[in-house]
A and B are shown apart, each in its own frame.
Chain A
Amino acid sequence: MSPTQWDFPVELCCRPMAFVTLTGLDVVYNAVHRAVWDAFCANRRADRVPISFKVLPGDHEYPKCRPKRTSYEWYIPKGILKTGWMNKHLNLVPALVVVFYELDWDEPQWKEKQSECATRVEIVRQSLQGRNTKVAVVLIQKKTPLPPGEDVIASERAAALCNACELSGKSLFVLPHTDHLVGYIIRLENAFYEHAQTYYYTEIRRVKSHKEFLNKTTHQLLFVRHQFKIAFFSELKQDTQNALKNYRTAYNLVHELRAHETNILEIKTMAGFINYKICRLCFQHNTPLDAIAQFRKHIDLCKKKIGSAELSFEHDAWMSKQFQAFGDLFDEAIKLGLTAIQTQNPGFYYQQAAYYAQERKQLAKTLCNHEASVMYPNPDPLETQTGVLDFYGQRSWRQGILSFDLSDPEKEKVGILAIQLKERNVVHSEIIITLLSNAVAQFKKYKCPRMKSHLMVQMGEEYYYAKDYTKALKLLDYVMCDYRSEGWWTLLTSVLTTALKCSYLMAQLKDYITYSLELLGRASTLKDDQKSRIEKNLINVLMNESPDPEPDCDILAVKTAQKLWADRISLAGSNIFTIGVQDFVPFVQCKAKFHAPSFHVDVPVQFDIYLKADCPHPIRFSKLCVSFNNQEYNQFCVIEEASKANEVLENLTQGKMCLVPGKTRKLLFKFVAKTEDVGKKIEITSVDLALGNETGRCVVLNWQGGGGDAASSQEALQAARSFKRRPKLPDNEVHWDSIIIQASTMIISRVPNISVHLLHEPPALTNEMYCLVVTVQSHEKTQIRDVKLTAGLKPGQDANLTQKTHVTLHGTELCDESYPALLTDIPVGDLHPGEQLEKMLYVRCGTVGSRMFLVYVSYLINTTVEEKEIVCKCHKDETVTIETVFPFDVAVKFVSTKFEHLERVYADIPFLLMTDLLSASPWALTIVSSELQLAPSMTTVDQLESQVDNVILQTGESASECFCLQCPSLGNIEGGVATGHYIISWKRTSAMENIPIITTVITLPHVIVENIPLHVNADLPSFGRVRESLPVKYHLQNKTDLVQDVEISVEPSDAFMFSGLKQIRLPAQAFYTYQYFCQATGSTHG
């Protein structure tokens, strides 16, 4: 964009730098000079002194200095600040003129050269007459100079040169053209900078000296001008603190000026300039709060200074610029490291600038609505002789006139007209959109999504005014979902209304329909008359006609739009629009609900589609179809206008196709599920409702799943929370809020009509062939086919159980590890109605514990649903938990031949093994036989015959056996000696003949065998008679391999009379048995 009158001048916005001109350099043809110039101007980084250099010829004419005024008494200023002044001191009047001259100290023609140099200096001085500009001379030398003081000729000649040129020694420099050029240049420019600062210091002093001559009545303007100049020179001097101070004073002085309609623009312009400088310096000094405070003050002071009512748009343009410039300054400061916050960032200033730009547009629209016949005045009152104004902020047709009275009202009128006509050509929208997009970028950065949305709405609206409808729609469409998702319906409606206008003007069918749908919906806050109008338009569009124009549209644009709509009608082609309603709030609501969460396959699946229209007038739909995850069902769930005799829909009348506003319409659908879908979920994937028909235009509203749109989830939540009582409705009507979407249902198998009974005698005994009798009886009315039985351990239990459980149908043989835990799909044939069948099942459980057994019967049956023959697979299962217990406990003990309990047995001495078998079964057990299998180390003393053959044990009864055994000496064996196994063969007493006998093997305990040295065995008769002799025989046995000396003494009891040796001593041979006899005669005691 080219700069407009409201843009700040470049010289105001730049950073003022000391202006130094370099003369005597031939940068085009002289390589040395070129290098010197490059060193001055190339790569100027921030650490170099702030000087702006310019190469000028030595005889350059500088702006003439006006003769100094001796008295201000009769002087009346014509304005505040001349337009050329800043530029003059930035780029035209140097602080220092440097004369470059090639001269070595040992120059042979020194005299001539010296005078030439002096002439050059003189010429420069001539053209600077009256100014305080400094002059300096730089000698470009080929030789490296000697250290100061060593070169006598040099110092002599230097003094002479200074004298000739009337220079002080400080203004003469030597620049050796050697390797260290940049170093020398930096030293040089630092010296220049000092000179420049002195110059600006004297300038400030000079301006200040005028002050005493001024008086408050006629020289008010000069106070401001001088203050501004002092501040500006201070800036040039890089004294920003003083510059700021002086600008602040100047700012206060501006507002002290007497303001009138004629000079208000000038005052505002200058106030704006000075304010800009102050804010800029505040940011530079890193005091952003001062900048903001100054800006606020500035705005508060100037906000009401509107000036001429006919040109009030100028005030808004100026305000807009103030905000924009501050925003720019703020943004620049942020780029240099300042941190902004959410509530204080440049975005707000751009936003406000945009606001004023909008105001400007509004005012311009009302103030500049001249007839087309009004011609731009000739001669142009805005033209000036020089093409520019003399003073900032003045009117071109009365420059320099300070009087508040208009000397020439006619001229004023023409001038105003010219400005108004010029304003008409301004593209306001462009300005507004630029400012808004600046603001959007800022708010995005500072986490203000809603502010961003708001500004985007404004941008969209501005694009709409600028007739760029595509861009407008893009922006509006983008923000719509934000307002929708947060439920700000007023805002959404406002955005939609603009969007509808845009889509109308572009004749965008689909957009037009979409926005209409939502504006008619419950989220729209439009009044009913508006809704009526939109609905009428929508119906027109669906009938392939043009809609009426939207209100408040530009007349020309409407004309174009009408043509576009007419073209659309003639244009054949795809006129079906499918609109997904998930993301917005259309005026038809839809809910789908299956009657039950599951259906048996032999009953028809039923569901309702509920529809409700929110538009003001009834609307007719042409088609409704429902889609499922299994697409085969889709064909059954369609309602169409044409096919009246739809079988699926009962009582279909034309009224069904019409939606009455506010009334809930219920549509019932029925279909028969496929038998393959048993166990599967049937889901409604979408509901499509067609408005209009294919001959005209057709809009298909597409609900994903079982209905619901952008607003319905929140509504459902609210409805669920509410405990408001709903008014009673007639029976066939329902409250919309009370309908809960149920978009899926399960298809489950037909209910079986058979009975399954299990007959068995629990608990099961370990390892037995446990008999389970399954009885299946059919109660079906027709024959059932393909009856199959699956029985066994219920899957999903402990894996060890599977290893230790075996199932078979044949009870006659014992099953082993190879038998499965579950028998599947045993075919048992067909069953006629009422027929019954029995199946025996044998289970062998290897471990104790409880197990779950499953008996599952499946069959096929033919049945009719809705006059459709289907084959249903039915099944019934029974589960039973069976406990397994040990049939009996076996206890074993060792006793001596005298039935005394033995902890250990003695080698070669016979002992008794006693087994005790205690029945633990609740049922009678038959012990078929038992057997003792001895370990090799054990020998039997007598026959090992079973003593319990065919014994029947009732619960709690026990059967014992006794075996006489002997164990040879085996030495000391750790843990004892193995005894052998005890094998019991048994069965249930109640079990049938052919059931195999179960053998249980019990491992007998180990026994510790001990050797003894002497074994005494008494041989006593089992009884004696009184007064008859009783022979007593003692066997003594030496078990050692040594001869033992044995002393035997017999101590008879008083009841006996004793004969024989009472005491005997004899040697006992090793491994030898002695017999010792004695006789005793007993007597009875009374």
Chain B
Amino acid sequence: MAVCIAVIAKENYPLYIRSTPTENELKFHYMVHTSLDVVDEKISAMGKALVDQRELYLGLLYPTEDYKVYGYVTNSKVKFVMVVDSSNTALRDNEIRSMFRKLHNSYTDVMCNPFYNPGDRIQAFDNMVTSMMIQVC
């Protein structure tokens, strides 16, 4: 399961970011922020591809010693970033993909809420994210 999940706006500011409470929160903020370098680069490389054939899942952004950072970008350039513990070998690419899909669905639900103002920090996301985060016992 993920140790940090973040939703980043088109303009690259965080809409939602949550990490496991046991760890240093700031570290994950930096990690998510730096991963945007790779996301930006991947998006600009992707720009040439046909729009409808575009793959939303960006794959592994970059590995650090202890974590793996995965990325996903919606058609409206909202980015999802997920940090996973490197030692967690159970999480294959397919699992990550399905987690992102779940996240995307929840994000779509948030956007469908008429009381949500696009671009505001997201509040009503916690239940779903908690289910995807590592459970702290």
A and B pair up: yes
**A170–chain B nearest beta-carbon distance, Å:** 55
Set A299, A352, A450: member contacting B33, Cβ < 8 A:
A450
Is A717 touching B37 in the complex (CB atoms < 8 A)? no
Chain A window 560-578, contacts with chain B (Cβ cutoff 8 Å), 1 for yes, 0 for no: 0000000000000000000
Partner of A718, one of B36, B41, B119: B119
State which of A306-314, A487-495, A768-776 sits at the interface with chain B.
A487-495
Q: Is the beta-carbon distance between A723 and B117 smaller than 8 angstroms?
A: yes
Q: Please tell me which one of the listed residues B37, B117, B118 contacts residue A447 in the complex, with CB atoms under 8 A apart.
A: B37
Residue of A whose beta carbon sits closest to that of B61: A343
What chain A residues lie within 8 Å of B119 (beta carbons)?
A: 717-718, 721
CA distance A547 to B12 in the complex (A): 36
Mark interface residues in A689-727 (1 if CB within 8 Å of B CB, else 0): 000000000000000000000000010011001111000
State the CA gap A355–B38 with chains docked (Å).
21
Which residues of B are found within 8 Å of A342, using beta-carbon distances?
A: 37-38, 41
Knowing A343-B62, A355-B65 touch, does A486 contact B26 (C-beta < 8 A)? no
When chains A and B are docked, how far (Å) is the Cα of A451 from the Cα of B120? 26
B residues within 8 A CB of A348?
A: 62, 64
Judge if A454 is at the interface, Cβ distance under 8 Å: yes
Does A449 belong to the interface (CB within 8 Å)? yes
Given contacts A342-B37, A721-B118, A721-B119, contact A488 B65 (CB under 8 A): no
A352 and B65 in contact, given A451-B37, A724-B117 (Cβ under 8 angstroms): yes
Residues A486 and B62 in contact in the complex (CB < 8 Å), given A450-B33, A721-B117, A721-B119: no
When chains A and B are docked, how far (Å) is the Cα of A42 from the Cα of B93?
A: 57
Chain A 466-509 per-residue mask, 1 if CB under 8 angstroms from chain B, else 0: 00000000000000000100111011001000000000000000
**Across-interface contacts of B25 in A (CB, < 8 A):** 490
Tell me the bound Cα distance from A724 to B14 in angstroms.
21
Q: Which residues of chain A are within 8 angstroms of B30 by Cβ–Cβ distance?
A: 454, 457, 491
CB-based nearest B residue for A319:
B65
Q: Is the CB of B26 within 8 A of A491?
A: yes
Residue with the highest number of chain A CB atoms closer than 10 Å, among B34, B38, B62: B34
Docked-complex contact A488 and B115, CB < 8 angstroms: no
Q: Which B residues touch A451, using CB under 8 A? A: 34, 37
Give min CB distance, B69 to chain A, whole Å.
Answer: 10
State which residues 9-25 of B face A: CB under 8 Å: 11-14, 17, 25
- Please indicate the chain B residues that have their CB under 8 angstroms from the CB of A721 in the complex: 117-119
When chains A and B are docked, how far (Å) is the Cα of A283 from the Cα of B13?
39
Q: How far is the CB of B84 from chain A (nearest CB, A)?
A: 16
B29 within 8 A of A: yes
By a CB distance below 8 angstroms, the chain A residues around B11 are 486-487, 714
A448 within 8 A of B: yes
- How many chain B residues touch the partner (CB < 8 A)? 24
- Taken together as a complex, chains A and B put the C-alpha atoms of A641 and B83 apart, in Å, by 54
Q: Check if B14 sits within 8 Å of A448, measured CB to CB.
A: no
A455 to B11, CA, bound (A): 22
Contacts A348-B62, A352-B65 hold; do A724 and B34 have CB atoms under 8 A apart? no
Q: Mark B108-130, 1 if CB is under 8 A from A, else 0.
A: 00000001011110000000000
Please count the residue pairs between chain A and chain B whose beta carbons lie under 8 angstroms apart in the complex.
Answer: 64
Chain A: minimal CB distance from B86 (Å) = 10
> CB-nearest residue of chain B relative to A449?
B37
Which residues of A lie under 8 Å from residue B120 when comparing CB positions? 718, 722
Complex contact B13–A490 (CB within 8 A): no
Q: Are A454 and B117 in contact (CB under 8 A)?
A: no
A137: min CB distance to chain B, Å = 58
- Can you name the residue of chain B whose Cβ is closest to the Cβ of A719? B117
Contact A724 B115 (CB under 8 A): yes
Contacts of A722 in B (CB 8 A): 117, 120
Describe A's contact surface by its main secondary structure.
Answer: helix
The distance from the CB of B3 to the nearest CB of chain A, in whole angstroms, is: 17
Query: Taking A450-B37, A491-B33 as contacts, is the C-beta distance between A486 and B115 under 8 angstroms?
Result: no
Min C-beta distance of A552 to chain B, whole Å: 15
**B13 contacts which of A352, A355, A450, A486 (Cβ < 8 Å)?**
A486
Most buried by B among A343, A348, A447, A723: A343
Nearest chain A CB to B52 CB, angstrom units:
27
Query: Once the chains are docked, how many angstroms separate the CA of A721 from the CA of B119?
Result: 9
Q: Are B29 and A486 in contact (CB under 8 A)?
A: no
The answer for the CA separation of A454 and B37 in the assembled complex, in Å, is 12
Chain B residues in 8 Å Cβ range of A714: 11, 13
Asked whether, in the complex, the Cβ of A488 is within 8 Å of the Cβ of B61, the reply is no
Residue interface bits A237-261, CB-to-B below 8 A is 1, else 0? 0000000000000000000000000
Q: Using Cβ atoms and an 8 Å threshold, which residues of chain B touch A718?
A: 117, 119-120
With the chains together, A721 CA to B26 CA distance in Å?
A: 30
- Residues on the A chain within 8 Å of B118, using CB: 721
B64 partner residues in chain A, CB cutoff 8 A: 348, 352
CA distance A457 to B17 in the complex (A): 21
Chain B residues closer than 8 Å to A724, beta-carbon distance: 115, 117
Tell me the residues in window 50-69 of chain B with beta carbons closer than 8 Å to chain A beta carbons: 61-62, 64-65
* Complexed CA–CA distance, A352 and B62 (Å): 13
Query: Chain A contacts of B17 at CB under 8 A?
Result: 490
Query: Is A343 a contact partner of B115 (Cβ separation < 8 A)?
Result: no
Closest residue of chain B to A493, judged by CB?
Answer: B26
B26, B62, B65, B119, most chain A CB atoms within 10 A:
B65
Q: Which residues of B contact A723 (CB under 8 A)?
A: 117
Cβ of A63 to closest chain B Cβ, rounded Å: 43
CB neighbors of B among A447-464 (8 A): 447-451, 454, 457
Q: Are A491 and B37 in contact (CB under 8 A)?
A: no
Q: Which residue of B is nearest A296, CB measured?
A: B63
Which chain A residue has the least Cβ–Cβ distance from B25? A490
Q: B64 to nearest A CB, angstroms?
A: 8
- Closest Cβ neighbor of A323 among chain B residues: B65
Chain B residues with CB under 8 A of A457: 30
* CA gap between A658 and B29 in the complex, in Å: 37
Give bound CA distance, A352 to B64, whole Å: 8
B-chain residues with CB within 8 Å of residue A717 when the two chains form the complex: 119
From B13, B26, B62, A487 is in contact (CB under 8 Å) with B13
**In whole angstroms, how far apart are the Cα atoms of A724 and B119 in the complex?**
13
User: With a CB–CB cut-off of 8 A, which chain A residues contact B65?
Assistant: 299, 352, 355
CA–CA, A488 and B30, complex, Å:
9
Contact A490 B29 (CB under 8 A): yes
Is the pair A447, B41 in contact by a Cβ cutoff of 8 Å?
yes
Q: Contacts of B115 on A, CB cut-off 8 Å?
A: 724
Query: How far, in Å, is A713 (CB) from chain B's closest CB?
Result: 11
A293 to chain B, nearest CB (A): 13
Shortest B92–chain A CB gap in Å is 19
Nearest-Cβ distance from residue A307 to partner chain B, whole angstroms: 19
Complex Cα–Cα for A487 and B25 (A): 17
Residues of B within 8 A of A454 (CB): 30, 33-34
Shortest beta-carbon distance, B76 to chain A, in Å?
14
The CB with the most chain B CB atoms within 10 A, among A450, A490, A717, is that of A450
**Measuring CB to CB, which residues of chain A are less than 8 angstroms from any residue of chain B?**
299, 342-343, 348, 352, 355, 447-451, 454, 457, 483, 486-488, 490-491, 494, 714, 717-718, 721-724
A299-B65, A343-B61 known; 7 new pairs, CB 8 Å cut-off, are: A342-B37, A342-B38, A450-B37, A487-B12, A491-B26, A491-B30, A724-B117
A sample of 24 inter-chain contacts (CB < 8 A) reads: A342-B38, A343-B62, A352-B64, A352-B65, A447-B37, A448-B37, A448-B38, A450-B34, A450-B36, A454-B33, A454-B34, A487-B12, A488-B13, A488-B29, A490-B29, A491-B30, A714-B11, A717-B119, A718-B119, A721-B117, A721-B118, A722-B117, A723-B117, A724-B115
Give the top 8 A-B pairs by smallest Cβ distance, nearest first: A487-B13, A448-B37, A722-B117, A451-B34, A343-B62, A450-B34, A450-B37, A490-B29
